[in-house]
Amino acid sequence: MGRVSNFIVVLVNTLLLIVGLVSLAFGVVFTVQGDTHCEKVMTKPALILGGFVAAVALLGLIGSLCKSNFFMFIYLTILFLLIVGLIGFTIFVFLITNPGAGKVVSNRGFNEHRTWDFSNWLHKHFLNDKNWNQIKSCLHDANVCGTSGKSNGFHYHSFVFFKKTLPTVQDGCCKPPSACGFESKNATVWEAPNATGPAIQDPDCQTWSNNQLELCYDCNSCKGGVLANFKKEWRSLAIINIVILLCLIFVYSIGCCARRSNKSNKTYIRGFA
């Protein structure tokens, strides 16, 4: 059992070391070649994650290959803290990503989100002026509202436009809210209705601009769409975390077996000597 445990620890940590080095490589590439703010933002997490994973994997490899209980103890302690941290983080993610209502626009195949559909924590950390300006910069860099005729882009024909299932971010940021009653003249120009009514009282109706640099990036609907996207991604992350947790618990158990085996072997050798 001891040999099997050590073999599994070596195998798993070899794979983790490769993952860590690949993550470091991506971080370096983004640092050197990243032209936009968003690309550069990705470098720090990639470098930190890659360095951490590689360091932990090295501890596990040294402890297992050299049968060093000191390194195995450090390795297992870090794994234990990581397991506890992931459990806490996963619970936290589920709490802050409570379901957003989202208004379904009849017969148009998409939801319109508002910021009040989401938790106060998401409001505080993503919609403050500093962070929202960075998010807007990323939306510009990604050409979210581009009109190049891509499969997820905007089309001139209103029927095709409204029947398409638009991504939540694109829907909230690239057109005025449907309640405003604006008419689409082409892919980039919307005309306000002549009559006034309750729909026009929505602040987003006044915020909308046909200027391609402004559009509805400061609209509540845009912020709601971004938060909806964050919620979806973080929910997926929480599910991935559960899978990672199960793997870490398995590796931790095997590591404990390997450490006990190392202790037993050393005791046996001393007794034999």
Q: Is residue 268 part of a domain?
A: yes
Residue 1 has pLDDT above 70, yes or no: no
> Residues in the chain, how many?
273
Same domain, 63 and 131: no
**3-state class (DSSP) for residue 112:** strand
Based on the domain organization, do 86 and 111 belong to the same domain? no
Asked whether residue 113 falls in the same domain as residue 206, the answer is yes
pLDDT tens per residue across span 160-219: 433 343 477 888 898 888 888 888 887 778 888 775 544 557 888 889 999 988 899 999
Euclidean distance between CA atoms 214 and 147, whole angstroms: 15
Query: What is the rounded CA–CA span in Å between residue 81 and residue 92?
Result: 16
Q: What is the pTM of this model?
A: 0.72
Whether residue 129 lies inside any domain: the answer is yes
Residues 259 and 196 in one domain: no
Q: 67: helix, coil or strand?
A: coil
- Residue 221 and residue 107 share a domain: yes
Q: Is residue 18 part of a domain?
A: yes
Residue 75 lies in a domain: yes
Q: What are phi and psi of 42, to 5 degrees?
A: -70, -15
Question: 255 and 209, same structural domain?
Answer: no
How high does pLDDT run on average in the chain? Answer: 78
Does the structure show a pLDDT above 90 at 57?
yes
Q: What's the pLDDT score for residue 265? A: 57
**Residue 126 is encoded by which pair of tokens?**
């993503």
Please check whether residue 232 lies inside any domain of the structure: no
Looking at the fold, whether 220 and 252 belong to one and the same domain comes out as no
Number of domains forming the structure of the chain: 2
Q: Are residues 174 and 247 in the same domain?
A: no
153 within some domain: yes
Higher pLDDT, 217 or 263: 217
| Same domain assignment for residues 115 and 211 | yes
Band (pLDDT 50/70/90 cuts) for residue 272 is: very low
Query: Which of 87-91, 106-110, 229-233 shows the lowest mean pLDDT across its residues?
Result: 106-110
What does the alpha-carbon distance between residue 116 and residue 132 come to, in Å, rounded to a whole number?
A: 16
User: When comparing pLDDT for 4 and 272, which is higher?
Assistant: 4
Q: Two tokens at 128? A: 């403050």
Indicate if the pLDDT at residue 110 is higher than 60.
no
Q: Higher-confidence residue: 171 or 84?
A: 84
DSSP state of 185: S
In a domain, 112, yes or no: yes
Domain limits at 44?
A: 2-98+238-272
Q: What mean pLDDT do residues 2-22 have?
A: 88
Run of H or E residues at 110? strand 110-112
Whether residue 252 is found in the same domain as residue 217: no
The answer, yes or no, to whether residue 59 has pLDDT greater than 90, is yes
**Residue in this structure with the two tokens 């409204």, named with its chain if needed:** 162
Q: Is residue 243 part of a domain?
A: yes
Nearest residue to 63 via CA among 259, 226, 263: 259
How confident is residue 116, by pLDDT bands cut at 50, 70 and 90?
Answer: confident
Identify the burial level of 166 via C-beta atoms within 10 angstroms of its C-beta, where 0-12 means exposed, 13-18 middle and 19 or more buried.
buried
Q: Which residue has the tokens 């973080």?
A: 234
Geometric angle at alpha carbon 5, from 2 and 11, rounded to 5° = 140
Q: Both 156 and 179 in a single domain? A: yes
- Do 218 and 111 have their domain in common? yes
Domain final residue pick, 227, 248, 263:
227
